[in-house]
Amino acid sequence: MDNNQIPNLKTLLGRGRGGGLRGRARGGYGSSTQGDEAVRDNAVRGTDQDAAGSRVSCVEFGYLDDPYAKFFATQSSTRRLPLLNRGTYVRTSAIDQLVDHFLTTPTSTQKQIISLGAGTDTRYFRLRDKYPNEPLVYHEIDFATNTTAKLQSIRRHPSLQDRIGDSHFALKPTADSYHSASYNIHALDLRSLTTSSPPPLENLSPTLPTLILSEMCLIYLHPTTVSGILNRLLTHYVSPRTPASLVLYEPIFPHDAFGRTMISNLSTRNIHLPTLTAYPGLVDQRARLRQYGFGDGCRAADTKFIWRVWVSEEEKERVAGLEMLDELEELELLLRHYCVAWGWRDGEGEGEDVFSRAWSEVREQDGG
């Protein structure tokens, strides 16, 4: 075949993608119909099983030690490529490190963690094993479909109930919430926190030093909605004088070739990342944390930096030995496009300056 007989596939581009673009244009923010929004919310809820599968893959290959991950995953195939395992490992262990520093910093009071969009996350169960004597109040907030599924998994597996320390875990199968002195699952749409009459969050202490976690959660919301949610959490649910902090894990750099491809790929799955373009780099992430009122520290690092600097040499060697990794350039590309950003206020009340003490030694990345 002469090469000019080979069809130029690009000529098909306009037609093929035009429909998609029109579809998106109709569903733009602000003008989105109820139906579009429901589709998006569903897609966001679905990301939780994606994360659960990735976690199981990491556990099966020995990256992470998490005996609870398998109880929550429903995907039939959870095997992930080595580079994704490595990325999930870096993400999970980075946040673990920040949480560990927080929990091991002595205070006279209990501590509180609020995990936004927690989904199937197993952190509470792992922390119970790691710090059995640490008085901790743990809150998870997610859509009711996700919390219901989580509670059903807990009901099915006695080892999970054991960790909750509740021998009378006799909830109705349809229950979407759970409350105890140490573990709370709240079924609600985060956006409802910004309404004029915000719903009560049971057992949430306004005075305990509070760490808020957002692992790929707030990224799915509009920047002003995010500000509103955090404002409510940091001034209404938690007193403005209480030491508080926020740890974010999310993608960065939407404007380069990889970032543009990510946005376009995810949009075909109905997943949109509104804050990504609002806070494209590490500098923007730090500035945003300051805006939320974290006056005592605003830091950020991409996950490539975190792998290089936060992970010890022995641990790097152990992880590198788990699987042969042929995707080095791709891994680097991927790791440079996700970051952990953490900001804190020391507050005035009990547990004052716990975050400054906890995180003063945690290195961030320059610039960015």
- CB-count exposure of residue 121 (10 Å: 0-12, 13-18, 19+): buried
Residue corresponding to tokens 């022995």: 314
Would the annotation count 190 as a binding residue? yes
Do 241 and 347 contact (CB within 8 A), yes or no?
yes
189 labelled ligand-binding: yes
Collapsing DSSP to helix, strand or coil, 124 comes out as: helix
Q: Which of 216, 247, 306, 319 binds another protein (CB under 8 A)?
A: 216
Give me the 139-178 binding string for another protein, x by CB under 8 A, dash otherwise.
----------------------------------------
Residue that is written with structure tokens 């950003």 in the block: 341
Tokens in use for 115?
Answer: 């995990």
Per-residue contact flags (x/-) with another protein for residues 237 to 266, judged by CB under 8 A: --------------x----xxxxxxx--xx
Quote the Cα angle for 365-44-94, to 5°.
25
Q: Residue 85 or 107: which CB sits closer to another protein? A: 85
Residue 142 CB partners (closer than 8 Å, separation 6+): 48, 117, 118, 119, 150, 185, 186, 187
Backbone angles phi, psi at 260, to 5 degrees: -60, -40
**Where does this chain touch another protein (CB under 8 A) — which range of 3-11, 194-202, 228-236, 345-353?**
3-11
**Least distance to another protein from the beta carbon of 308, Å?**
11
Query: Judged by CB under 8 A, which of 21, 181, 283, 320 binds another protein?
Result: 320
Q: Does 274 bind another protein (CB under 8 A)?
A: no
Fill in the DSSP letter of residue 228. H
User: Footprint of another protein on residues 329-368 (CB under 8 A)?
Assistant: 329-330, 333, 338
Given 8, 34, 133, 196, the residue binding another protein (CB under 8 A): 8
The residues, ordered by sequence, that sit 6+ positions from 68 with a Cβ below 8 Å of its Cβ are 122, 125, 126, 159, 160, 163
- Which residue in 342, 344, 337 sits closest to 368, CA to CA? 337
Residues forming the annotated binding site for S-adenosyl-L-methionine?
Answer: 91, 117, 189-190, 215
Q: Which residues bind another protein (CB under 8 A)?
A: 1-3, 5-10, 12-13, 16-17, 47, 50-51, 54, 80-82, 84, 87-88, 91, 216, 251, 256-262, 265-266, 268-269, 271, 320-321, 323-326, 328-330, 333, 338
